[in-house]
Structure 1
């Protein structure tokens, strides 16, 4: 049982060089099998590790077959061969010792930067969408700040339930709550656009509940961004692209370089710039049913004829992004430990567009947005964001009593400032500005982590603690942005945050955990973990996990796990409040969001304090190598989430004019037409299957073909009744109607299948990716069953069906690369080669579905966006 200890006692220094066909290979993991002792190769492929004679060294690196060499002297040189990803060593989910994908008790994807770049996508979130079947992120439109963040989730469980790490340390969440009608509405995620792909060596995706190991948010799984350390070259990548419609032009440049010291120290630096222009794919109704303006209207018919698209801009926003990241480490003398630090800063400016204010909608009597003496054509408000995301981690690793010890501190912040421009505030008359600072949000966290791990032969143990402080603040806008004495809504399209919405809130929590793995035989692994967390604002939680793996030798493994988990309600969800101007129910309305600590919500309406969501996660699967270059993995999962935090639907009047109920009184007192709030009110059940098949190094003509088939099939259902607060239930309110429920159950594809073919022929590389996005469904709030009046008379109640299912579609991407020499290569990619678009919206008589024809393609549910074909080209230099 204590083989690891005896090995250390008899250890000697074993050194050597690791190479591949092109020369020295830096960054290779070298582990003494059965222990936690290990290192990585330096810039020249050299390594040195303490190992006893007769022990086994395991050499592993992403994209290469792992090799096991028995130590018989003090010199071991190795040549690595390209292999399958199942042999890659991963760190995520394995506190005690590194493991390969093959012998891990839980499903993990290990995706190298080259694999991500071969998707042809510009940002990390889009790369993962086209690489990991259970991951989804799509560009949003006409959704205020959400259009600049793009909600992303794993296994359809929402952005809040995926934990994101950088080098194994928790990444801060964004400052934004997705409050518009998009997937992930009411949730908070990590700003994945703030992590540049050029800085990443690989991404590890743990597809299993991991709250017992990592704490809150890890219900759906964990995404760990591993930054580059040692690199062979300084690399520069220049890229540009445009849609076949002639819009959406983009260009970017990134640089990655590094220094490696003779003692194994390293410094890696990444700098990048990216810019994209807008795309526009609106509907063209030629009339405006929202305002009752027909195409042949005697006053506005000529304007409608000239502007059949009603002035809309529906598509991806404009974007400018600048990144600077680093990753550094300095070893102690005699390799007894290491000081490390990493972090980065991203600044991003974006511009999206609100609903066009047609001249019959909003007037401009003082000529603020058009020249005097010219025909007034209306105006297009812009929603502009300035995002700053920065994070920094510093830590020390060393040996103490044969334990590997890691002490670190992390600070992360995401700040977003809003401007609404090319608009006006009607109530200010001729004194109205046309540009408004409407406020903003900031979220930050500060963490300290202390982790211990040790291998004792058959037993691997790990334990540690985390202390965390979180801060959330909301800043009021300029007074002109929210000035609203007559109820016209302040600045058109987005009234500014008011002083009453401003807040500074924080909380503290601490957690302690223990992790144990036991390998009684070479085949059998049994693991367990437990974690206790205590939060200053709502209390404590205990999560636990058990897992097991039965090895099939070098062929594969059978694995299973069961765990409980939790997610603390974000500070944003507790403290967010604002007023939005929306088109709702066929009319313009002011919608108020009240935070969970507001007396109006807690006392007047009886909404309970937010508390943690809890979960139960079951996973079982198999990995198997049919032959050395053909592998398959299949995993079933079931995730139950209780007391899920939701953002209610619009709550307004009950239609009874004879009396005023408590909700209506709140609306009157606050000059709003509807209200919303956050509440723990729903239980969900998600089941699914992940499937991955890799077939590599297939000889085809003079070249080599690699093929990958990956798929995810999932379904989420709502269990039981919506837990409506008593006072609202007594007054007949439905706080989470069919439309809001569909955002949980059907706004993301229930199936996604990826088929990738990668063919190398001399200096050429040909990639053909086909991605099937399954159907999504949009559900009407009541489907006409109540004959709701949407501003154009009551809807029919007989056989009314306003729901729509948007069919599954296949997106084909073609990427062609050519290596001019070892230092220069070029790539041309055609994303969405066949110019596939989602099904168009069929209103079925309900003009709210497409806002009177303004939207041609689905916007409240989204499969893959609607930009059409995009052609990109890039050049990569190494020196």
Structure 2
């Protein structure tokens, strides 16, 4: 009986199996977008392993004839995760795609044509899938991620640069941080309140603080690599970065990330062999609203980052003969001694010091030279075997290592929140939407060590006989909220929105003193800060005419923007200079009451390392602008696409500007095309650049003199005939080629570009009067030396961007994705203007622009997924850079190219739990070291503080746990 049943089963299978093999039919279906359930046109549908496929129409529908079942259908679209569906017989499918794309995919975020797809775009856009990177990548902040995955983007953490330690300057295509526009969900993002004036890449610019946005809230990042000022307005000279927020619902995702630097330099100075410890926890959750695909998505993030230190031991003079006497006789007794008596006293303490004294007299040095120097011959000796310092260090039980600076990433603690919401109002796409968030960051960075050997009293040896290392603490608070309504009026898509954002940056100076207050000085000061607010209202309309040409998209709209910039003074003791009676010095009526050092120089006032902003520096300024644009995009034929944009913008503080853009794409074949664009652009000078000022009073010969950065509208700027700031203007030209080879799984894009920027806004070198006529001008403004912001030079940037993407199957279930991308660029400074007969840019300032960032950058990423395992290997080639500090010298310094390797392994325990482990800079590669010869830092900086291709923290090892609950 059992054998007969088995026989019948085999007979049925034998009869129907051949029929299954030769079964034919048609697969039809509709593709929609997750969340909104809207039809998804232009999606690719292909039978896996064949070239048989179709593209969804405007309503998301498709149809494919299949010669045999079963098959697997692969569905993909720009901006969405690829989906595979097994199909056993002819049927009608309902397929929903989730948002998510990879680096090589390109979209034109400047286009109002909602159906424009991948390789057909006339200009290039890198699109980064954040959900994938958040799982496998070592980097955790937006600027870190972009620096390693988008070759045309450059950003590194700065060190010993005041506020810039806490906001990373970022560059696109080698231009300035203020020449790239940042959007969130297509809406303009406000800038940071900090202007970078402290000697790093991006000096004189105001960037957007992208690190105030939690990475866990972002679905993807679109980087438009082309000028787009005619479409978006000010700042979009180099391109546009658009952050697209998540809108997933009914899904909770938790990321727990921890890691630390484990490198040869962290082992050198830190117990346990690690530093820069990081811990971050992210949570993302969304819920559906209504029955039409509405949603609200929340993200929260908490993180801490430890400081790193890559300094060397102190190589400069630490103590003077005065410090030796102070230790043995007391501060007051030493201060009361005649210089010759003090020198004789110290010389008698030790035969070594007697030799220093004798050698100094023989050399003809003055008593001042002998007393203040750390050698027998001159003050500036940087030898590590100086007799006075060596003697005093031994007496105090200290070493030079106790006077090390903190050169590395700052300490950071942050909390971030982001929300994204949309509520449909009907079945026709009408909806109200909103997004926004808050972030709070506390940072702590260090300045230069205040050694007792400072002869102007900055070391305040009375209260701190061994000097001190001052710290600059920052508090950055960022808030934003956008709200809008979109829908249809007839056939027109309408979008009306308002976006508000404010960024504040406050300084607290710690472990420092106001030296004019002596031993009674506070050790902590509120030094003031900045705030910048921006409100942007947009009204946009667009319509797609399917029957005009092969499709015509018409869009137009208007924008109104209000901005406010504030500079707030610090507490009095943070900026004031006090006399011996503890009164604020406002004039020099009684020079006997001025606090002086033992060596006779005036002791500077204010908090050491960062004097606070004064009431005279305070600013509260507004401006407004309005704009109107029109954008046309037409498929004139199936092969030829042409788009044009015109924009008029008017600012109340400098006037009006008119810009245009033309771009096109011509298909050479079904799988290849050429594309190009030509445009004009502009960037309005930031309010920060117009009104920022930071001056301090120095007394020269008993006369109070202002020194520092003067506002562009100041009295001194007027006397020197420095014109008011105007907009930068640009001319952009790009030409590219795109191709895909479906049978080989290969996609290629190559784009060349040229960007000429005229009248760039920048900060000048420091000017001091050198003639009687110039002295009269400075005297009229009570100024001694000054910097300004001005439209002072032009730049020409040229380059080539390349992206190759290859995807193939390996083994039964394995998929290997290889992406090679690179940029080759060059920026030249031209037509530099002059003030007082001297060019406004010195060689260092030119260096920041021309060659302090890598001109060449290559990225090769290999990602292999099989079963529950995912392996990511990434190698990034950072080209050589030149040190601005040595530019123009007899011995210029170049730091050679390096390759940084990232590796991570991810294992999925289940659909809900993943564990990732890996490393950034796996091979512990460092930049070339600063040559000691000629270094102004006394061997404290092992690596340059002016430029860095990829930072100098060394190897970073991390682990990440990802939990998903659906």
Q: TM-score, with normalisation over the residues of structure 2?
A: 0.79
Cα deviation, 1:667-707, whole Å, max 9, x if unaligned, reads 8x24x5x3211010111100000000011133157622111
Cα separation, 2, equivalents of 1:81 and 1:398: 22
Cα separation, 2, equivalents of 1:805 and 1:663: 40
Q: 1:573-722 residue pairs with structure 2 within 5 A?
A: 573-579=689-695, 591-602=707-718, 604-627=719-742, 629-654=745-770, 661-662=775-776, 665=779, 669-670=782-783, 672=784, 674-700=785-811, 703-719=814-830, 721-722=831-832
Question: Could you say which residue in structure 2 is the equivalent of 1:768?
Answer: 873
Larger radius of gyration: 2
SS class of match (1:349): strand
Q: Does 1:529 align with 2:613?
A: no
SS class of match (2:839): coil
Question: Could you say which residue in structure 2 is the equivalent of 1:359?
Answer: 452
SS class of match (1:31): coil
Cα deviation, 1:527-561, whole Å, max 9, x if unaligned, reads 10000000000000001000101124541321100
Q: Quickly say closer, same or farther: Cα 1:79–1:126, change in 2 above 3 A.
A: same
Q: Quickly say closer, same or farther: Cα 1:294–1:319, change in 2 above 3 A.
A: same
Cα separation, 2, equivalents of 1:581 and 1:62: 56
Question: Could you say which residue in structure 2 is the equivalent of 1:787?
Answer: none
SS class of match (1:160): helix
Cα separation, 2, equivalents of 1:563 and 1:281: 45
Cα separation, 1, equivalents of 2:944 and 2:218: 33
Question: Could you say which residue in structure 2 is the equivalent of 1:127?
Answer: 145
Cα deviation, 1:38-83, whole Å, max 9, x if unaligned, reads xxxxxxxxxx999499999x97353545999xxxx99752377999
Q: 2:415 aligns with which of 319, 322, 328?
A: 322
Cα separation, 1, equivalents of 2:474 and 2:482: 27
Structure 1 residue 115 displacement after superposition: 4.0
Structure 1 residue 842 displacement after superposition: 1.4
Q: Quickly say closer, same or farther: Cα 1:115–1:878, change in 2 above 3 A.
A: closer
Q: 2:945 aligns with which of 859, 868, 875?
A: 859
Structure 1 residue 828 displacement after superposition: 0.8
Q: 1:183-582 residue pairs with structure 2 within 5 A?
A: 183-231=201-249, 233-244=251-262, 245=266, 246-261=274-289, 262-284=291-313, 286-288=315-317, 291-292=380-381, 294-302=383-391, 306-308=399-401, 310-361=403-454, 362=457, 368=463, 376-457=465-546, 458-484=551-577, 485=585, 486=602, 488-552=604-668, 554-579=670-695
Cα deviation, 1:713-736, whole Å, max 9, x if unaligned, reads 0000122x31124xx12xxx3321
Q: Does 1:837 align with 2:926?
A: yes
Q: CA RMSD in A?
A: 3.0
Preserved CA contact (<8 Å) 2:42 2:60: no
Preserved CA contact (<8 Å) 1:60 1:66: no
Cα separation, 2, equivalents of 1:580 and 1:116: 46
Preserved CA contact (<8 Å) 2:438 2:480: yes
Q: 1:686-835 residue pairs with structure 2 within 5 A?
A: 686-700=797-811, 703-719=814-830, 721-725=831-835, 728-729=836-837, 733-780=838-885, 783-784=888-889, 801-835=890-924
Structure 1 residue 119 displacement after superposition: 3.1
Q: TM-score, with normalisation over the residues of structure 1?
A: 0.86
Residue ranges of structure 1 left out of the alignment (5+ in a row): 1-13, 20-24, 35-47, 371-375, 583-588, 785-800
Preserved CA contact (<8 Å) 1:532 1:543: yes
Q: Does 1:106 align with 2:119?
A: no
Q: Quickly say closer, same or farther: Cα 1:335–1:839, change in 2 above 3 A.
A: same
Q: Does 1:868 align with 2:954?
A: yes
SS class of match (2:164): helix
Cα separation, 1, equivalents of 2:61 and 2:258: 54
Question: Could you say which residue in structure 1 is the equivalent of 2:40?
Answer: 31
Q: Quickly say closer, same or farther: Cα 1:59–1:820, change in 2 above 3 A.
A: closer
Question: Could you say which residue in structure 2 is the equivalent of 1:38?
Answer: none
Question: Could you say which residue in structure 2 is the equivalent of 1:145?
Answer: 163
Cα deviation, 1:99-148, whole Å, max 9, x if unaligned, reads 22211111111111134333310201100100000001101000000010
Question: Could you say which residue in structure 2 is the equivalent of 1:6?
Answer: none
SS class of match (1:500): helix
Preserved CA contact (<8 Å) 1:495 1:581: no
Cα separation, 1, equivalents of 2:820 and 2:98: 22
Cα separation, 1, equivalents of 2:776 and 2:813: 77
Cα separation, 2, equivalents of 1:309 and 1:547: 61
Cα separation, 1, equivalents of 2:503 and 2:98: 42
Cα deviation, 1:315-353, whole Å, max 9, x if unaligned, reads 000001101100001101233500000001111000000
Cα deviation, 1:290-315, whole Å, max 9, x if unaligned, reads 85464333432256671247420000
Preserved CA contact (<8 Å) 1:815 1:830: yes
Higher helix content, 1 or 2: 2
Structure 1 residue 360 displacement after superposition: 1.9
SS class of match (2:721): coil
Structure 1 residue 579 displacement after superposition: 3.3
Preserved CA contact (<8 Å) 1:64 1:87: no
Preserved CA contact (<8 Å) 1:605 1:662: no
Preserved CA contact (<8 Å) 1:740 1:781: no
Structure 1 residue 580 displacement after superposition: 7.1
SS class of match (2:488): strand
Preserved CA contact (<8 Å) 2:130 2:218: yes
Preserved CA contact (<8 Å) 1:28 1:60: no
